[in-house]
Structure 1
Amino acid sequence: MSSNRNATADLYSERVAGDIEGNENTPLLTNGSVPTRTHGASFASSVFNLMNAIMGSGILGLAYAMANTGILGFCILLVLVSSLATYSIHLLLKLCDQTGINSYEDLGGRALQKPGKLLVGISIIIQNMGAMSSYLFILKSELPAAIDSLLNPQSIGHAWYEDGRLLLVLVTLCVVLPLSMLPRIGFLGYTSSIAFFFMLYFAIVVVVKKWSIPCPLPHNVTTLSGAFQISNSSDSECTPKLFVISSKSGYTIPTMAFSFLCHTAILPIYCELDRPTKSRMQNITNVSISLSFLVYLISALFGYLTFYAHVDSELLLDYDVYMPRDIMVMVVRLAILLSVLLTVPLIHFPARKAAILLLFGGRPFSWLIHIFATLIILGVVLTLAIFVPDIRNVFGVVGSTTSTCLLFVFPGIFYLKLSTEPLRSFDSIGAIFLVVFGFIVGIISFSIIVITWAQNS
């Protein structure tokens, strides 16, 4: 029992620097020369956990991003962002191995003292609470229609399951809360594997339905709600574009950055990995990002080749218009909602960890503090999801600020501050590029959001 408590408490503490040299085959969690535990999360479970942290509702918007950048433009940017995400994780793992620090927040504290730790902790909390609120908001909006279409397609009444707020409260209490109460992230590997297969099923349906919707798109189609929508598609719009540049292209990189953001979950997954070494965790990262890249690319490509310039910012809405009663589409919508639902507890884990670190420091694990932090965070997130009428703008601001900082800026700055390598070394130059790239992307995306608000108003 004490061994398990020590292993859990290690999530909130540092290794003693110098006890272990910076070798990529050195175990992460040790007590002198003897490991503090004999078993942790498996390689496959860690891959599913990381992929679930990577893949979320962002998969629904990538076809829209391809429509605004072109096929080649999208592929180039997707390779760039995924490669930079992998590289920034490499820098984090290298720092973790060199310094003996196994917490993103503590890396900030070591690099920039107390302000750095506070900045990283607040960024993680805001980022993850914004993401959780958005996911729950999607559940509130989409789950009633999905259940209604599956159970009673012809119903025009007001059944209890058509109340999105009531469904959201029930789902949060029955599913999200129990999973969020788990003290170790490794337990979520089973639900993470289910969520990944839901995403994989979504990609398969997008590929299959490419051949079921003709181009040019049909006119005067009936939506799921019974309204008529006119499509003004022409033969010329059925030709895929290789490169597209427009004002909407500015949203592409922030969307991709959000789609590959998993850095807040990297070190917790690393800490609970069985036989945790830098090379082993790097292999998990490479596998997870590569598989996510493949699923992203397939769903975006075939989604774009189905609707071309008419693709919606949320891909499922297009299928609601042109195939409102298709069984596969209804099932995949429910699968995506379940996938989003199972992602919320995984996103909750680093948010709770950051809050406990900021408020209580490196004290041993306490169930009282654990339960209290879980209830407070979920309460705030659920309140936002229920009462905020439109959270997309808030989520856009969060994504353009904290996402770019956690993905690009912080890993680069921390490496430049903590690494002993010369400034002209490959990784130091790469860290400088990450910082510059992150600042540019963040400023541009935030400016586009503000300009869009001004134009709409």
Structure 2
Amino acid sequence: SSLSVIGTWYVTAVIIIKYIWPDKELMPVEIPTSPSSWTAVFNAMPTICFGFQCHVSSVPVFNSMKQPEVKTWGAVVTAAMVIALFVYTGTGVCGFLTFGASVEQDVLMSYPSNDIPIALARAFIILCVLTSYPILHFCGRAVLEGLWLRYTGVTVEEDVVRERRRRLLQTVTWFLLTLLLALFIPDIGKVISVIGGLAACFIFVFPGLCLIQAKLSEIQETRAISWWAYVSYGVFMVTLGAFIFGQTTANAIFVDLTA
């Protein structure tokens, strides 16, 4: 929603302003200029993949457009990615330059609790979660509903009454599970480190497989160089995504979860 976008802009603006004009209570910190090891570079991939994982909500966004056309939808996706890039870059860079290696997983937690602009930024984060949660929940519920109808062999029109009951049950169960996970796993960094590897599959592996399948399904007597280039690019995406998934997931299990 528009309120969610405004909220993220406000959070980014506050962090940038706090870096340019820091509070007197903030002491100068040491800023690491190089990773501790070469594998540490890939440890940032789960967060990056998790942040740019917009595939799930793309279908509802397309269906809610006044003119659902591929060209217009491409412009919307590009604009969303550009906004996300500036928001993530501004927040991450300025937050890291402000607190250095001591920065918290949630950068807002590094600031004093009595800071009014930061408190307002935290309120905007809550607003962002509240406005984006129904969209993502709708996507998950639609997947579960589709699997159930396919398993039972019943159409949507024939199962209207039961669909309403399942919708209520799924919504309550989904919300309670989310609440329990939030209560017992307060460090969101560990969650992102685990499921960020799965996000790499959404960004690299699945699109690469779709590209390979799309090119293999083409009926051509002679395959041009462009055909081989697309297939090679698809294989590269699948390989890169599999490597990121394996490396980051193994690192999250053996380092983050056992720490």
CA contact (8 A) 1:207 1:302 kept: yes
Q: Does 1:278 align with 2:80?
A: no
Alpha-carbon deviation of 1:311? Answer: 1.1
Q: Does 1:344 align with 2:133?
A: yes
2:167 to 374, 381, 388: 374
Alpha-carbon deviation of 1:339? Answer: 0.9
1:68 alignment partner in structure 2: none
Moved more, 329-338 or 356-365: 356-365
Q: Does 1:399 align with 2:196?
A: yes
- Give me the TM-score of the superposition, normalised by structure 1: 0.48
CA contact (8 A) 1:400 1:442 kept: yes
1:140 alignment partner in structure 2: none
Q: Determine helix, strand or coil for the equivalent of 1:274.
A: coil
1:328 to 97, 117, 125: 117
Task: From the superposition, tell whether residues 300 and 395 of structure 1 become closer, same or farther in structure 2 (CA, over 3 Å).
Answer: closer
Higher helix proportion: 2
Q: Deviations over 1:274-332 (max 9, x none)?
A: 3323222211111110111111111112111211222111101101xxx3211111111
Q: Deviations over 1:389-430 (max 9, x none)?
A: 1275555433323x2222221121122123345584443332
Whole-Å Cα distance in 2 between the matches of residues 407 and 372 of structure 1? 34
1:12 alignment partner in structure 2: none
1:446 to 242, 249, 255: 249
2:23 to 213, 219, 222: 213
Task: From the superposition, tell whether residues 455 and 275 of structure 1 become closer, same or farther in structure 2 (CA, over 3 Å).
Answer: closer
- Give me the TM-score of the superposition, normalised by structure 2: 0.81
Q: Does 1:290 align with 2:99?
A: no
**Matching residue's letter, 1:271:** N
Q: Deviations over 1:82-136 (max 9, x none)?
A: xxxxxxxxxxxxxxxxxxxxxxxxxxxxxxxxxxxxxxxxxxxxxxxxxxxxxxx
Alpha-carbon deviation of 1:369? Answer: 5.1
Task: From the superposition, tell whether residues 338 and 209 of structure 1 become closer, same or farther in structure 2 (CA, over 3 Å).
Answer: same
2:35 alignment partner in structure 1: 244
1:409 alignment partner in structure 2: 205
2:47 to 220, 237, 255: 255
CA contact (8 A) 1:352 1:373 kept: no
**Matching residue's letter, 2:170:** I
Q: Determine helix, strand or coil for the equivalent of 1:275.
A: coil
Q: Deviations over 1:185-240 (max 9, x none)?
A: xxxxxxx111111000000110111112359x44xxxxxxxxxxxxxx65xx1x57
Identity across matched positions, percent: 23
CA contact (8 A) 1:303 1:311 kept: yes
2:93 alignment partner in structure 1: 301
Q: Which runs of 5+ in 1 are unaligned?
A: 1-191, 219-232
Q: Deviations over 1:236-290 (max 9, x none)?
A: x1x572x434465443111100000011122232234333232222111111101
